Amino acid sequence: MRRMENLVFSLNATVPIFLMMVLGMLFKKLGWMDEEFAAKMNKFVFLIPLPVLLFGDLAKVDFKEVWNIRFVIFCFVVTFICITIAALVSCIWKDRSIQGEFIQASYRSSAALLGIAFIQNIYGNAGMAPLMIIGSVPLYNVMAVIVLSFFHPERKAIDKAVWMKTLKGGIVTNPIIIGIVAGLIWSACKIPMPAILNKTVTSIGGMSTPMGGLMAMGATFDFRKALGKIKPAVTATIMKLIIFVAIFLPIAVKLGFRQEELIAILVMLGSATTVSSFVMAKNMGHEGVLSSSVVMLTTLFSAFTLTGWLYVLKAFQLV
């Protein structure tokens, strides 16, 4: 009975996301959305709603109540190792234009969005999700900017000019990075979030996923191009949902993490690739086909893999 409840929850968390992408495809088929409109919508989401969403998530977290530096360091180190593994695996593809997208799609989870909801459903509170977000999500975004800048399809070499452009335009003035830094500063300074500002931030941030990430992705998704990149997409999906969890979850158990900590680590490692990876890839000059393919595949199958991993943890009485 409990297993069925977990399956239903996972499906409730992931199937609506997949259906939003299907709606985008349908709207394009009906002529209600075209690629130009979808591209403009993606750019808007990248500049405004997505940074606001990240700011709101971080600004409202009370770090002092649940602070655990050992857990934060573990999340950070594991995330960095996952990025390194993804970068090494990306070298097997002859098509270098997809390398940046492959790396980002292989490691970047929808941890901030799915994590809190998943843990609340099990424990009734956010648990260790805020600390997992601190340890992983800023690194997700910073490394995504670096990876997508350095592995740009039209870039032939990484020289001093590339470093400067990446540091200045790709990181320092990147809207997503600004949103993360602003949220961390707001939280560290313990600035209260007035109800009016909170509602405004929530409303603006709420546009990011359904408006830009999902329906626009569906409207620009090309099945013929996706089939041409099916091998890297499937490889990234297996890495994202199975391999990273199989490697690092036992290590987390051996280090003594339990209950909410393990669930947060599971979400960090094994949840679907975040929609914002597609938005960021498109807005940084990449094709976006591989990113959207991995998001769709991981979204479709994560409900079952997360439920399977959760069952394993329960079977060993770890959660």
Q: Token match 């991981």: residue?
A: 298
**CATH architecture for segment(s) 2-315:** Up-down Bundle (1.20)
Residues 303, 7 contacting (CB under 8 angstroms)? yes
The pLDDT tens digits of the residues spanning 31-62 come to 888 877 877 877 787 788 878 877 887 787 77
Give the confidence band of 89 by pLDDT, cuts at 50, 70, 90: very high
Q: Token match 């990430």: residue?
A: 213
User: Interior CA angle at 253 toward 187 and 117, to 5°?
Assistant: 45
Give the confidence band of 246 by pLDDT, cuts at 50, 70, 90: very high
Contacts 24+ apart (CB under 8 A), 195-200: 198/56, 198/60
Give the confidence band of 79 by pLDDT, cuts at 50, 70, 90: very high
Tokens of 48: 């405004």
Give Cα 289 distance to the centre of its chain: 16
Residue type present at position 80: F
What Å distances lie between residue 153 and 31, 186, 199, 286, 304, CA to CA? 30, 36, 40, 7, 34
- On the question of pLDDT at 159 being above 90, the answer is no
Tokens of 232: 């890297």
CA distance 118 to 80: 23
The pLDDT tens digits of the residues spanning 259-271 come to 888 988 998 999 8
The domains of the chain are located at 2-315
Per-residue DSSP letter, 109: B
pLDDT score recorded for residue 130: 66
pLDDT score recorded for residue 87: 94
pLDDT score recorded for residue 83: 95
Helix H or strand E segment including 213: none
Which conformational region is residue 285 in: left (phi greater than 0), alpha (psi within -120 to 50 degrees), or beta?
left
